[in-house]
Amino acid sequence: MREPLTIRRYQAGDWPSVWSILHHAFSTGDTYAFAPESTEAEVHNIWIEGPQATYVACSSDVGIFGTYILKPNQPGLGSHVCNCGYVVGPAARGKGIGAAMCEHSQNAARSLGFRSMQFNLVVSTNTGAVHLWQKLGFSIVGTLPGAFQHKVHGDVDAYVMFKHLAANRQLNQAPEPTASSGRGSS
């Protein structure tokens, strides 16, 4: 990737690339709870139809190499807290895409009126993601014992991570990649 990173709203034509990235990520069974055998229709529902907004990270020379979703974490009286999930394609790891998407999502969330962001199930063995979220201002506020059936390690703990979103950033300004890549969280 030599061209600048762009993070923008998902468009219907992006689906083949997004599905390819998600299918790979979910099938590994080490990061997301979504069933590894989820069908394309199920994943479309999870990633496109369900969330309030879906974004893609792309460049003009490489195309789409990451995607994230943004939605309220709870209805009504809990809807000021949002939830996001991020996936970076295998060829684009280690380039700060996860960090860039997380920074972008915080700005997007503020613009949509959210006041905090919560990740409900950060797999404890996914240490790269845990450290990245901590570096980006998230705290581990809870530990769920054995709550994730890891494909390799069996039942492992998962973390609940949380961040208050101060109203100090502008949207429409994709941050530059600043950290090693990470995937994870919903």
Give the range of 11-19, 32-40, 87-95, 104-112 binding its own copies by CB under 8 A.
Answer: 32-40
- What is the nearest approach in angstroms of its own copies to the Cβ of residue 137? 13
Among 50, 90, 141, 176, binds its own copies (CB under 8 A): 141
Dihedral angle of Cα 34, 35, 41, 47, to the nearest 10 degrees: 10
- What is the nearest approach in angstroms of its own copies to the Cβ of residue 149? 4
Give the range of 12-20, 70-78, 102-110, 124-132 binding its own copies by CB under 8 A.
Answer: 70-78
- What is the nearest approach in angstroms of its own copies to the Cβ of residue 147? 5
Q: Looking only at residues 145 through 184 of this chain, which bind its own copies when binding is defined by CB under 8 A?
A: 145-151, 155, 158, 160, 162, 164
Q: Is 178 left (phi over 0), alpha (psi -120 to 50) or beta?
A: alpha
Is 71 among the residues that bind its own copies (CB under 8 A)?
A: no
Is 10 among the residues that bind its own copies (CB under 8 A)?
A: no
Is 91 among the residues that bind its own copies (CB under 8 A)?
A: no
Contact 101, 10 (CB under 8 A): no
Is 94 among the residues that bind its own copies (CB under 8 A)?
A: no
- What is the nearest approach in angstroms of its own copies to the Cβ of residue 122? 12
Interface with its own copies (CB under 8 A)? 29, 32-36, 38, 74-81, 115-116, 118, 120-121, 141-151, 155, 158, 160, 162, 164
